[in-house]
């Protein structure tokens, strides 16, 4: 998987499809949102991919703790990094989107605050790792912290923002736009796997580079 090519070609095809169908395809006409509804293929794909990367990272951290195999620690670290990058992009794109639909780039909305807290917890993972010089200690404590950071995604992103009032769709009986068939046809087969594969591609490059420098 690490050095195969077919899924990289698939990534390019899916992203091309996302850009073409994402801008030329039909979308539901909604007030306030207007054409910005097309951000669905980009902003939401960022968050969704981030969650996938954090899950992959979590799996590798658990694998590391079970086996003490140093390579799993590298995998966990690099997947966390790409997750943070995608999360930051999700935050930035969401802020731009909010600026033109909610009326302010930042409004201390529960969704926004929860996302920032979750990202800060993951940033602390990198700081914590860099505070230790012993490689085994760093890997072990890093893996344990990574599990904690993932657990913190539940309250900060998945539970609390949905229980309180928010401008963001998807909570409080406020339906998100999942139901629309046109959007689903671009998002699920195109945008989500396309962006995720791009992140995986970049991550595998970083992992391979890391393995090279260790030799």
Partner 1 sequence: MGLMAQAQTDSQHVEMADQLRANGKIYVVVAVLLVILAGLILYVARLDRKITRLEKGTSSKGS
Interface residues with partner 1 (CB under 8 A) are 3, 8, 12, 15-16, 19-20, 23-24, 198, 201-202, 205, 208-209, 212, 215
End-to-end CA distance of the chain: 21
Closer to partner 1 by Cβ: residue 8 or 182: 8
CB of 25 to partner 1, least distance (A): 11
Closer to partner 1 by Cβ: residue 12 or 159: 12
Identify whether the C-beta of residue 93 lies closer than 8 Å to the C-beta of residue 39: yes
Phi and psi of 106, rounded to 5°?
Answer: -140, 125
Instruction: Give 110's contacts (C-beta < 8 A, 6+ positions apart).
Output: 160, 161, 164, 165, 166, 168
CB of 97 to partner 1, least distance (A): 17
Closer to partner 1 by Cβ: residue 166 or 204: 204
Closer to partner 1 by Cβ: residue 185 or 205: 205
CB of 209 to partner 1, least distance (A): 6
Instruction: Give 207's contacts (C-beta < 8 A, 6+ positions apart).
Output: 2, 74, 75, 78
Identify whether the C-beta of residue 88 lies closer than 8 Å to the C-beta of residue 119: yes
Rounded CA gap, 90 and 96, in Å? Answer: 10
CB of 127 to partner 1, least distance (A): 27
Closer to partner 1 by Cβ: residue 43 or 168: 43
CB of 4 to partner 1, least distance (A): 11
131 CB burial (10 A radius; 0-12, 13-18, 19+):
exposed
């Amino acid at each position: 998987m690490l050095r195969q090519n077919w899924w990289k070609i698939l990534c390019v095809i899916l992203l091309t499809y996302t850009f073409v169908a994402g801008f030329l395809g039909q979308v539901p006409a909604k007030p306030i949102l207007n054409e910005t509804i097309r951000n669905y293929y980009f902003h939401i794909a960022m968050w969704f991919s981030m969650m996938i990367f954090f899950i992959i990272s979590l799996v590798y951290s658990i694998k590391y703790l079970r086996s003490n195999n140093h390579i799993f620690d590298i995998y966990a670290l690099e997947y966390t990094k790409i997750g943070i990058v995608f999360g930051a992009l999700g935050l930035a794109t969401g802020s731009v989107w909010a600026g033109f639909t909610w009326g302010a780039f930042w409004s201390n909305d529960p969704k926004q605050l929860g996302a920032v807290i979750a990202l800060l917890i993951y940033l602390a993972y990198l700081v914590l790792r860099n505070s230790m010089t012993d490689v085994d200690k760093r890997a072990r404590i890093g893996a344990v912290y990574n599990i904690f950071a993932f657990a913190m995604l539940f309250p900060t992103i998945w539970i609390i923002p949905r229980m309180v009032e928010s401008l963001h769709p998807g909570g409080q009986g406020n339906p998100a736009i999942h139901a629309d068939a046109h959007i689903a046809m671009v998002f699920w087969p195109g945008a989500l796997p396309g962006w995720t594969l791009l992140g995986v591609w970049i991550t595998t490059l970083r992992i391979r580079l890391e393995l090279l420098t260790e030799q």
